[in-house]
A and B are shown apart, each in its own frame.
Chain A
Amino acid sequence: GAGVSQSPRYKVAKRGQDVALRCDPISGHVSLFWYQQALGQGPEFLTYFQNEAQLDKSGLPSDRFFAERPEGSVSTLKIQRTQQEDSAVYLCASSLAPRSYEQYFGPGTRLTVT
Chain B
Amino acid sequence: AQSVTQPDIHITVSEGASLELRCNYSYGATPYLFWYVQSPGQGLQLLLKYFSGDTLVQGIKGFEAEFKRSQSSFNLRKPSVHWSDAAEYFCARRGSGGSNYKLTFGKGTLLTVNP
Contact = CB atoms under 8 A, between A and B. Distances in A.
Interface string B23-66: 00000000010101000011111100100000000000000000
B71 interface: no
A46 B49 CA distance: 22
A108 B43 contact: yes
B101 A43 contact: no
A40 interface: yes
**Does more than half of chain A's interface fall in helix, strand or loop, or is it mixed?**
loop
Contacts of B100: 99, 101
Contacts of B94: 101
Given A107-B42, A108-B43, A45 B107 contact: no
B105 A43 contact: yes
Contacts, number: 58
Interface residues of B, number: 25
Contact of A42 (B99, B102, B107): B107
A104 B36 CA distance: 11
A65 interface: no
B44 A105 contact: yes
A68 to B, nearest CB: 19
Given A91-B44, A101-B32, A42 B92 contact: yes
A99 B43 contact: no
A25 interface: no
A103 B103 contact: yes
B90 A42 contact: yes
A79 interface: no
A43 B107 contact: no
Interface of A: 3-4, 9, 31, 33, 35, 40-45, 48, 56, 91, 93, 95, 99-108
